[in-house]
Amino acid sequence: MKRPFPILYVDTEMLAVDKPAGLLAVPDHWDPDVPVAREMLSKEFGRLLPVHRIDKETTGVLLYARNEAAHRELNERFSTRQVEKVYLAVVHGEPEEDAWDVELPLRADGDRMHRTVIDASKGKPAKTRFEAIERFRGFTLVRALPETGRTHQIRVHLAASGLTIVADPLYGDGASLMLSALKRKWKGDVYEERPLLGRTALHAAKVALMHPATGARLAIEAPLPRDFRATLAQLRKLCSP
């Protein structure tokens, strides 16, 4: 049977996959018709228990536990900040600093658009470390290191920093990134042009943690997807500082 997407790690305790854009990690009552990664994988791997989530349009490392004991251990490690998570994002704008922290409390489903909002009184503690790892004219490749795991945390904390993720429909303008917008002498047909990046430019690049049964350290990484690589290639070519 052909697998729906790459397996990054699997044993009797846990499963890690490289989730593509457009799939939910677990069923969501907001998007009942969207395909769900867990259901697609359970046909081959049996019952899978979620230990964290990444957004529908986010690509990269997604973990599931394969039994109750592993689920308890992994949940404990995620909730007590024993898991290192690394994300990459292409954002509009250029930060003043090369590294900065955002520590703003967040409340999920805080407005009519079901967005996460900053809420000093009712929000849950949330902290993210950011690093500008590559700069372009008008854009930056950012590494995000979230210490907590609130819904949409990276997206909201970046927006609070004045840096919206490319093509983010909730916290940015939602506009796809087109080559014609980067290339000064664009000669193609704008009506037939396909976007370089047509979904939220966020990738879960790495999860590092202790194995739930053996205690051995695992570092699970997912390569950049094709649209992300193509975008960076064009930014390097056309928008170098």
Catalytic residue annotation? 55
DSSP 161-227: TT-PBTT-TTTS--PPB-HHHH-TT--S-TTTPPPSB-S--EEEEEEEEE-TTT--EEEEE-PPPHH
| Exposed / middle / buried, residue 60 (Cβ in 10 Å: 0-12, 13-18, 19+) | buried
In whole angstroms, give the CA distance from residue 60 to residue 37: 12
Cα separation, 196 vs 108, whole angstroms: 30
| Measured CA distances, 203 to 44, 87, 209, 226 (Å) | 25, 5, 18, 11
Give strand pairing partners of 14.
65
Exposure on the CB side of residue 213, measured as CA atoms within 13 A: 10
Cα–Cα–Cα angle for 87, 230, 100, rounded to 5 degrees: 30
Q: Token pair for residue 90? A: 């292409």
